[in-house]
């Protein structure tokens, strides 16, 4: 109902809509309209009310609520259903629950804040309220489980495209799941899968983007290694606009992947890569080896030259660092 009221107010522009008109159009009581208007105001919407004229929307907050996201979607699959939280532990955790309850292909879970945001290898991820984009997409592809790791690369390309579209900022992708700007982390991606031998039940792609986080917002121990789009551009960036672009590009790449056509996606990942052709150290537990990142293979594994031999490195096994 609130989404419908918002749509009508937005369509009206600078014109007022009476409570009577809204009630008749939506087939509810004027009291119900008043309650929904109050709830929208409590959520940050600036709605003017004038006796005998009605209601007029003056400003919308930069929220990632289901109502706001649905109003800007340019996708058919991604965002088919939306679960929204103001605060949660992890959108990936919530997405798993949603998926097990039968959520459709393309459903997304969004939160304004994560208290237990996590990255690969159980690392924590800082996700302050209203400062970034923290969401997870539920995919139910028909390709084989061994192709699932490529979804992380697919998501990184989608995010890199979207950031450039919205801000003009050119970013780089560090294998396998980070998007960086001038060596500082801007985006983290965590892909998790539920599968059987030859069938994927669902894939969860969790994406965290530091959008409007100021340096002083960051914990001291990560201030020198993490950045945000507002720090880079020196201005606030619309989270809603950026999320819409991420979903758009992710859907386009997902459609390509569903046709079992990963090659163009991997080629584009290579163009964004800041890992390839670099000397790196490969960290696996307490073991550290040194080599040169040469390429990724058709499965998205990193090919590293170590002592003259090419070693295939899987994302789930290791971390890599510049040498």
Binding residues for biotin: 90-92, 114, 185
Count of beta carbons in the 10 Å neighbourhood of residue 204? 23
Structure token digits, residue 88: 């949660």
Q: Which of 128, 125, 96, 124 is nearest to 109 (CA)?
A: 96
Residue whose structure tokens are 């008043």: 34
The torsion of the CA quartet 320, 176, 166, 260, rounded to 10 degrees, works out to: 160
The torsion of the CA quartet 228, 233, 239, 243, rounded to 10 degrees, works out to: -90
Q: Which of 4, 254, 6, 283 is nearest to 108 (CA)?
A: 254
Q: Which of 68, 15, 61 is nearest to 41 (CA)?
A: 61
Phi and psi at residue 255, to the nearest 5°: -60, -40
Residues 6+ apart with CB under 8 A from 105: 77, 80, 138, 139, 140, 141
First to last CA, the chain: 55
Q: Which residues are annotated as a binding site?
A: 90-92, 114, 185
* Integer Cα distance of 157 and 137 in angstroms: 15
Question: Exposed, middle or buried: residue 97 (CB in 10 Å: 0-12, 13-18, 19+)?
Answer: exposed
Contact (CB, 8 A) for 81 and 42: no
Length of the chain in residues, anyone?
323
Question: Exposed, middle or buried: residue 192 (CB in 10 Å: 0-12, 13-18, 19+)?
Answer: middle
Return left, alpha or beta for 137; rule: phi > 0 is left, psi -120 to 50 is alpha, else beta: beta
């Amino acid at each position: 109902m609130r989404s419908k009221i918002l749509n009508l107010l937005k369509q009206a522009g600078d014109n007022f809509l009476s409570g009577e008109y809204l009630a008749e159009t939506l087939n509810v009581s004027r009291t119900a309209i008043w309650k929904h208007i109050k709830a929208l105001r409590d959520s940050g919407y600036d709605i003017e009310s004038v006796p005998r004229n009605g209601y007029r929307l003056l400003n919308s907050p930069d929220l990632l609520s289901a109502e706001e996201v649905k109003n800007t979607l340019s996708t058919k699959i991604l965002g088919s259903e939306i679960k929204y939280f103001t605060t949660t532990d992890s959108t990936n955790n919530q997405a798993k629950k949603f998926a097990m309850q039968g959520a459709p292909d393309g459903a997304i879970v969004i939160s304004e804040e994560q208290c237990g945001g996590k990255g690969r290898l159980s690392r924590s991820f800082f996700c302050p309220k209203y400062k970034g984009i923290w969401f997870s997409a539920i995919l139910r592809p028909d390709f084989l489980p061994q192709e699932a790791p490529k979804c992380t690369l697919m998501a990184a390309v989608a995010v890199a495209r979207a950031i450039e579209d919205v801000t003009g900022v050119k970013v780089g992708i560090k294998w396998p799941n980070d998007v960086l700007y001038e060596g500082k982390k801007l985006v983290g991606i965590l892909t998790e899968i539920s599968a059987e031998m030859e069938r994927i039940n669902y894939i969860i792609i969790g994406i965290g983007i530091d959008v409007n986080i100021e340096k002083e917002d960051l914990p001291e121990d990560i201030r020198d290694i993490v950045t945000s789009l507002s720090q880079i551009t020196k201005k606030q960036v619309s989270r809603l606009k950026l999320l819409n672009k991420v979903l758009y590009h992710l859907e386009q790449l997902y459609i390509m992947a569903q046709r079992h056509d990963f090659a163009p996606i991997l080629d584009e990942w290579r163009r964004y890569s800041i890992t390839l052709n670099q000397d790196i150290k490969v960290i696996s537990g307490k073991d550290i080896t040194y080599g040169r990142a040469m390429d990724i293979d058709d499965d998205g594994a990193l090919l590293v030259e170590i002592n003259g031999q090419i070693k295939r490195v899987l994302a789930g096994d290791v971390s890599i660092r510049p040498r």
